[in-house]
Each structure stands twice: as structure tokens, then as C-alpha cells.
Structure 1
């Protein structure tokens, strides 16, 4: 099949894909709200919250639950974490539906998708009863089935990307579980953020391909190279942003910008700041790094932000020279300027929650813009 031809999918597939993409954006933004309001460990058990499918309404409701010995109950935080979990679970069901629809014409396609989902489902009660290793192994087995199927299937009916998206969702569930089990370990928190945005990107790409609204340009190939370069830089910057957040390094430079603690280049410790694995059993809430290590993380984030902003503005200028792409050029330039402004305001205003959440949403919108153009651009036949 031509890489740009319309895939053969169920007639309402694109509507479900857009619904899932919209919900994924909500999960990302609400997840940022949960993380930045320090509510990530407010439900110390998983997937329940102090043994409840929803969340307790008062502290006395959890006195008899084992999780109450792990962390004191905070009503104003617990609902945030559990609502986020419910939104993520709903998204998972939508992605499962998309996978079933995409694989329905494949030999044993539906059986493979359901088998993977069943393995993951069987792992949940095991995890709740303390069998963490067994639960993880079942989820990994489900992942293996999906990845093997994706490697065999083509994308003529979007079966490959749908299976990959479901695999990412399952891995997201594992990361969510490990976030609680390993007490906000930075590599897990960062991976959870990247996984959410990867899910969003895959769903947006799938939705556009199913919608089939191409943008035909003679120099589409060159523009796609520009866009893929931008996506790589954006992914790096998002990862660094996740590392900043996971290590509580957002205000490591104080309220200084563009300087950091009054200096253009303060003492830093990159080797310590970018240690990815520090063992288990440590509570990472609030961060464990010293000032120089956190400053190193913050400075890396700022430096890559400059490179990314220059690159994307150059890309916007490149798009502006093509009459049919001027709207996208303006949108991209505005998003870049908005993200830079929000990043500066986060520092100068001491990380106010609405601005910090908006900064996360801005990253998702930048990702949406680049993925949209990659999915829609094609050369004339």
C-alpha cells in the first residue's frame, strides 16, 4: 500500500480515534495537575484508593485499610489521583476498542488483542494482593503478544499502529503502578509523562490517517524531514521537562531568568543530576538531589529550549513561504512563543499551578501540530 493512501478502516473508526485523542489530551493535562499539585502518592494503593474504586470522603473511612499506614489520607488530593486513574482507564478501553476494530480482518487478530488484554486484566487482582512480580510478568506477556502482532501486521487498516498504541497504554498502566510502588522514582515519572504524550501522538496520527484529509505539496518530503527533526527535538525537551518535574528542579535557579541564582553559569553537577536509576525503597517526593544537581537539570532544560525554539521558529518561517501553509506557520510560531513565555513565567512567578499545567498543555499542542503535519503532508500523485 502507498504510505499516503487512505487506510481501509471501520467507517466510524476516525470518530472513535478523535474521541480517544481528545481524552488523551485531557489525561495529560489532568495528570500534570495531579503531579504538580503533589497528589501523585495521595492514593498509596493501586488501582484502588485506600481500597475503594472511587476515593474515601473522610479520614475515618480509611482507618482500617492497610494503605493508611503508608500515607495519611488527604481528601483534597486523593480525588485528583483517582479521577486521573479513571480517565486513563476510560482511555485504555477506547484504545482497546480501536485495536479490536483495526484487527478484526486479521487472522486471529481479535483473539490476539483480547488475549493481551486478558493477561493484563488478570494481573490487576494479583497486584492488589501483593503479587507484584506475577502481575508485571502477565502485563509483559500481554505486551509481547501486541508487539509481535504489530511486527507482523501492515498499516493498511491501521492494525499495526493500533496494536502499538494499546501496547503503550499497557506500559503506561505499568508505569502508573510503579509510580506508586516505587514512590515517585524520577525515571518512572518521566517515563509516565513520555508515555502519555506518545499515546496522544499515536492517536492523533491514527485519527488523521483515518480521516484522510491530506495536504498536498510538491516539497512535502523536505518539509517532513524538517518536521521529524522538530519532533525529535521536542521529544528531547519534553523528556528534560519531565526530568525537571520528577526531580523537583523547576525552581532550582530561584526566581532568576535568564540568569540562575544570580549567575550566567552557576555551579552544576550533571553527572549526579542525570543518574537515571537510584535503586528502590526511597521516597522521591520533594526530590533527593542537591542544589548543584538540580541546577544542572534546569540548565539543560533551558539550553535545549533555546535550540528547540530557534528550530521551530525557523520551521514556521519555512512554512510561511508556502501560501497554503501560512495558517500552520502562524499557529506554530504562536505556540512556540507561548511556551517560552509560560516557561519564563513559571520561574519568575514561582511555579504557579495554572501556568505550570498550561506549560504541559502547550507541549502537547506543539506535539499535536507537528504530528498533524507529518500525518497529512503528501506529494502530488
Structure 2
């Protein structure tokens, strides 16, 4: 019964953006829906970072509900008892609400993607041009189902770092897939075939960024942000004592080594130092790539966005160390990484579409205003 209640809550949350798309005066409601879903997915990723950074991931230690109910209101007695038994533990009423709001939001995103699937297949059956295969939103729906499974394992496996990191990466993959679909629905302002030769460089840049975000997720999920408390040195040294074997042993419990012992400070330093060092490579490459790509009119806006976000990421990352990991800056750092993924996806799409014979037609509406 409570699963049905959860579904209804997710549907009710999704009705607001769906209503906005329906009443908005736009010639292409499918495009509007895709862009809105992309924006809300970015918000969901940032809220997921907020959930993790406030230690609310186990605010409701079961899944998909909260102590077998659909709301912390109903589970009030169980939450209060757990908090009284362990006041410094992971369960409190505030943390339970943060966790459940994250789940409600995720379910609403699922409803919006289901709506995309229905529209796309309806357009195929009625032979209305949508300029995108219905298998694309269907694949995105499958991806969010996998993402939901990892969300469940995040809770049931007690925030195991590799599961939480994969949950983050799948969320970014979902954002990238939605961004690609949104770009597919938006005509490119100028077709510049000369830009296509930069596609391999942009693909490589996206790969570098994904690796760096994975390293950042590993830092966050292992709570290694403050393993180095100074900059540019790490604990007063360029190369401090580190334990890479324990730091990068993937299958282990939070705060433990693969052998079941408490993880050492040297292992946490290895995690932090690797992320920090690889960031230098990524920043330099991204700056070079963005400066090259901004010479093309069709790429100038996303390339400028990359330049801006690289600076912001550097400043927020440095502030996390110097200011001892303040919550707003930590959330902003997570959000900046997600926006960078979206910008790199847009750049790769436009470069791919710049190749001869790949000019895109404006997408036409499938749902009348």
C-alpha cells in the first residue's frame, strides 16, 4: 500500500512541471518537456549532493519508504525512537525529510521521463515527425531504473563508497543523456563543418572530466575532503605519506579497509591527493579546449560556459579546503561538476552535428498547444 502512496506522491510532484509544459505557449511541447526534465535532473543531482553532505543518506534506513511508510509524518514514532537511542546517529526527523524529499523528487523525474516515452512512441505510431527515435527516451527510462536500483543499494548497503560513487556517476549519465536529447530537439544556430575536426578532442575532454568526477565522488563518499588541510601543499608536503592500496580498494564498507579494519589517514590522503593532482590535468586541458572551441560561433556559448565553470570549480574546491568544507560551497562544487558534464555533452553534440551531411532539422511539435 505504501508503495502505491509513494507513486502517487511522485505523480503529484510531477504534475506541476507537466502542467507548466502543457499551458506554456510553445510550438514544441516535447522539447520544452525534455529541457525542463534536464534542468530538474540537474537540481536533483545537487539535492542528492546536499543529502550526502548533510549525512542524510540513512535518514530513512530502508527503501523505498521510511520505516515501511510513505512519509516521515507517518514514521514519526520510529524515527523519534531511533534518534533517542542514538542522538548522534544517522536518523533524525530533519534527515528523514531530506532523504524522502530526495526520493519524491527522483520519482517525479521518473514520471516526466515516462511522459517523454509516451509522447515519443505516440508520435511514431501516428507518423508525426519528432526527429528523434522513441528508443532514445526509452533508453533513458531504463537508465533511471538502474539509477533507482543503485539508490536502493546506497541505503541497504549502508553508504558503501563504491555504490554511492556509482550512484553519482549514473545520475550524471542520466543528465548527459537528457542533455543530448534536449540538444537534439534544438536547432543549431550555425552549421560549421570546420569545427568537426575538434570532436575527438572534445570526447577526450569529456572522458577526462568523468574520471575527475569519479575521483571527486570517491573523495566525498569516503569523507576525505579534509585529509589535506592546506594548499597547494598537502599537510605541508608536495607528496605526503599515502596508502593507495587501502584508499582505492573498491569493495569495502564505509570507513573500513578491505580487511575490515578502520581506514588509515594515509589512505584518505591518497584519495584526496589523487583527486587534487588529476584536477590540474583536467583544468589545463579544459582551458585549452574551451579557448580553441570558442572561435566557432555555434560553440562559443557552451565554450564560454566551460571557461567560467572551470574557474568556479577551482575556487569552490579550494574554498572547501581553506574554509573546512562549508555546506553551501560543497553543494556548489558538486553542482558545478554536473553543469560541466552538461556543457561538454552539448559541445560534443554540436561538434558531431557539424560533420558534413549531419545538419539537423528543427524538431516539430507532436502535442498541439
Give the TM-score range, shorter chain: 0.7 to 0.9
Q: How far does residue 284 in structure 1 lie from its aligned partner after superposition? A: 5.0
CA RMSD of superposed structures (Å): 2.7
Of 14, 25, 33, the residue aligned with 2:50 is 33
Q: Which residue of 2 aligns with 1:376?
A: 350
Distance between the aligned counterparts of 2:284 and 2:165, measured in 1?
Answer: 25
Q: Given that residues 216 and 275 in structure 2 are in contact (C-alpha distance below 8 angstroms), is that contact kept between their aligned partners in structure 1?
A: yes
2:161 aligned with 1:186: yes
Distance between the aligned counterparts of 2:300 and 2:254, measured in 1?
Answer: 49
Q: Which residue of 2 aligns with 1:212?
A: 187
Q: Which residue of 2 aligns with 1:229?
A: 204
Q: Which has the higher contact order (CA 8 A, sep 6+)?
A: 2
Cα shift readout 1:300-319 (whole Å, capped 9, x = no counterpart): 10121111100110012202
Q: How far does residue 234 in structure 1 lie from its aligned partner after superposition? A: 0.6
Q: Secondary structure at the match of 2:45?
A: helix
Q: How far does residue 61 in structure 1 lie from its aligned partner after superposition? A: 5.6
TM-score between the two structures when normalised by the length of structure 1? 0.77
Q: How far does residue 208 in structure 1 lie from its aligned partner after superposition? A: 1.3
Q: How far does residue 163 in structure 1 lie from its aligned partner after superposition? A: 2.2
Question: Would you identify which runs of 4 or more consecutive aligned residues in structure 1 move more than 6 Å?
Answer: none
Q: Which residue of 2 aligns with 1:143?
A: none
Distance between the aligned counterparts of 1:294 and 1:229, measured in 2?
Answer: 28
Distance between the aligned counterparts of 1:288 and 1:97, measured in 2?
Answer: 47
2:278 aligned with 1:304: yes
Cα shift readout 1:141-199 (whole Å, capped 9, x = no counterpart): xxxxxxxxxxxxxx963323222211210111111111111000011100110011111
Aligned in 2, Cα 1:52/1:374: closer, same or farther, shift over 3 Å?
same
Of 149, 152, 159, the residue aligned with 1:174 is 149
Gaps of 5+ in 1: 1-9, 108-154
Cα shift readout 1:192-215 (whole Å, capped 9, x = no counterpart): 100111111100110110233354
Q: Which residue of 1 aligns with 2:8?
A: none
Q: Which residue of 1 aligns with 2:117?
A: 99
Q: Which residue of 1 aligns with 2:171?
A: 196
Q: Which residue of 2 aligns with 1:110?
A: none
Between 370-379 and 257-266, report the one with greater CA deviation: 370-379
2:271 aligned with 1:272: no
Distance between the aligned counterparts of 1:24 and 1:352, measured in 2?
Answer: 24
Aligned in 2, Cα 1:273/1:258: closer, same or farther, shift over 3 Å?
same
Q: Given that residues 184 and 283 in structure 1 are in contact (C-alpha distance below 8 angstroms), is that contact kept between their aligned partners in structure 2?
A: yes
Distance between the aligned counterparts of 1:62 and 1:199, measured in 2?
Answer: 32
Of 37, 49, 53, the residue aligned with 1:20 is 37
Aligned residues: 318
Aligned in 2, Cα 1:26/1:42: closer, same or farther, shift over 3 Å?
same
Q: Which residue of 2 aligns with 1:80?
A: 98
Distance between the aligned counterparts of 2:133 and 2:245, measured in 1?
Answer: 42
Gaps of 5+ in 2: 1-26, 358-369
In the TM superposition, what are the counterparts of 1:52-201 in structure 2 within 5 Å? 52-56=69-73, 60=77, 62=79, 73-104=91-122, 157-201=132-176
Q: How far does residue 226 in structure 1 lie from its aligned partner after superposition? A: 1.9
